Amino acid sequence: MQEQEKRKENPLGTLPVHSLLMKFTVPSIVAMLTSALYNIVDQYFIGNSVGELGNAATNIAFPLSTCCIAIALLFGIGGAAAFNLAKGAGDDEKAVYYMGNSMTGMFLLGTLLFLVTQLFLDPMLRFFGAPESIMGYAHTYVSITSIGFPMLIFASGGGHLIRADGSPNFSMVCNIVGAVINTILDALFVFGFDMGMAGAALATIIGQYVSGFLAMYYLSHCKTVSVKLRHLRPRSDCMARVASLGAAPCSNQLAMMVVQLVMNKSLTYYGGQSNYGEEVPLACAGIISKVNQVYFSFIIGLSQGLQPIISFNYGAGKYKRAKEAFLTSASVGFAISVVAFALFQLFPRPIIKIFGEGSEEYIAFSVSYFRVFLFFTFLNFFQPLTSNCFTAIGKPFMGMFLSLTRQIIFLLPLILLLPIAIGIDGILYAGPVADGLAAAVSFLFISRELKGEKYGSKAGRELAG
């Protein structure tokens, strides 16, 4: 009886849904934006000091950052979903084990990724598609930024656990503090001390370590559970549950990494056969992927803020509230996406020039990339929200399938096939085709889910209060 009262009083199950979304999604969006700011700030200072080759080098390094985020989401989103589902079901003891095991997993895999990168750096950069003209820049940048991988993963993944514990504002602070430090040190190291790529990389890892230590501090003083040493020891059942729930967002990031690798190689190969050359398409793609990351910070932040609300209410049997949360988030995501679409279509040239000047070919390809590759931006909110929704309600395999639709099932084959017929322009047209197909598949599956009896049944309405 006491457990039922405790669950009933949890604000995730009682406060108005729109108030909960505001409380959880705004800090999550800000946290994602400040995370994107790391890359944007580096791109700005490198573009205005080193130039096009520096921009191309950061694009070569970007798959490793994506890999870090994939690990963070595997244990962050997976741990948060498992934690909130267990809390919603009243199983506090199991919930704290999910949190502790998630922390251990993030730190171990982050350290492993750092070691592998240091040991195989040059072969890795060549595999990522680096031409000889930018190898030196990429080597300098990645050899330093890899030192921050464990803390980048812990700060990003730990933020999801902090939000799951009911402290979204602290999660936001962790990211903001690190991003501000990175920005200040970028200006000092790159412009003040003329340290170029090394200065930008050093500023990045210092900011990441500050954010990581703040996340560690909070997670050792959680407000709803007490994480002890025994909770950090890996347990196969807990790790399996966390990994299954985090598989969808992790798979989406890994898919992005694979696509980015193929994209880099394709841009280099087909760019060399065009009047753009090898470096220009790489540099343009690097900038535009960072700008698009700002848009996706809103969408991913929205889906991450949605997760604890859906997980708790679904776990507690309040299905109508879970449905309301998803539909409200989808409406907000659509509005954000329309604004981003308008900016990308109307103002591509001013956006590009923020990151330094370049040749006319560089500007022309960038404008085409914005307007063609990102044409269906107004639909791109739907697949991430839907994938994360299925993960949040404990259906990880469906979430993982949807997370792979855009990147692996549609975009990757199109990047390989279309350029054979129409050259480098085929890479640009692969984007909108994949976006449209992924949105259609996501709509089909979520419509079937939300039409289920439990979302509109008498029992569901009574539970929703």
pLDDT single digits (tens) 136-168: 888 999 999 999 999 999 998 998 899 888 888
The predicted model gives 76-102 an average pLDDT of: 86
Single pTM value for the model:
0.71
CB atoms within 10 A of CB 436: 16
pLDDT single digits (tens) 107-132: 999 999 999 999 999 998 888 877 78
For residue 353, give the 3-state DSSP assignment. helix
Handedness of CA 100, 101, 104, 106 (dihedral sign): negative
Residue 453: the pLDDT is 64
The whole-angstrom separation of Cα 154 and Cα 152 is 6
Check whether 186 has a pLDDT greater than 90: no
Residue 320: the pLDDT is 86
Residue 459: the pLDDT is 38
Which pairs from 411-416 meet CB under 8 Å and 24+ separation?
A: 411/259, 412/255, 412/258, 412/259, 412/262, 415/259, 415/262, 415/263, 415/266, 416/262, 416/266
The predicted model gives 173-200 an average pLDDT of: 88
End-to-end Cα, the chain, rounded Å? 18
% the chain with pLDDT above 90: 33
∠ CA 254-257-262, nearest 5°, is 130
Mean pLDDT over each residue of the chain, to the nearest integer: 85
pLDDT single digits (tens) 339-388: 999 999 999 999 888 877 777 888 888 899 999 999 999 999 999 899 88
The predicted model gives 37-44 an average pLDDT of: 74
Handedness of CA 70, 75, 76, 80 (dihedral sign): positive
- Token duo for residue 290: 């960072």
Residue 458: the pLDDT is 43
pLDDT single digits (tens) 210-251: 999 999 999 988 888 888 888 889 898 889 999 988 887 787
For residue 376, give the 3-state DSSP assignment. coil
Check whether 293 has a pLDDT greater than 70: yes
Q: Which of 173, 178, 175 is nearest to 203 (CA)?
A: 178
Give percent helix, percent strand, percent coil of the chain, each to the nearest 5: 85, 0, 15
Residue 411 region by backbone torsions, left for phi larger than 0, else alpha for psi between -120 and 50, else beta? alpha
The predicted model gives 14-19 an average pLDDT of: 81
The whole-angstrom separation of Cα 21 and Cα 18 is 5
The predicted model gives 248-275 an average pLDDT of: 82
Per-residue confidence band for 463, with pLDDT thresholds at 50, 70 and 90:
very low
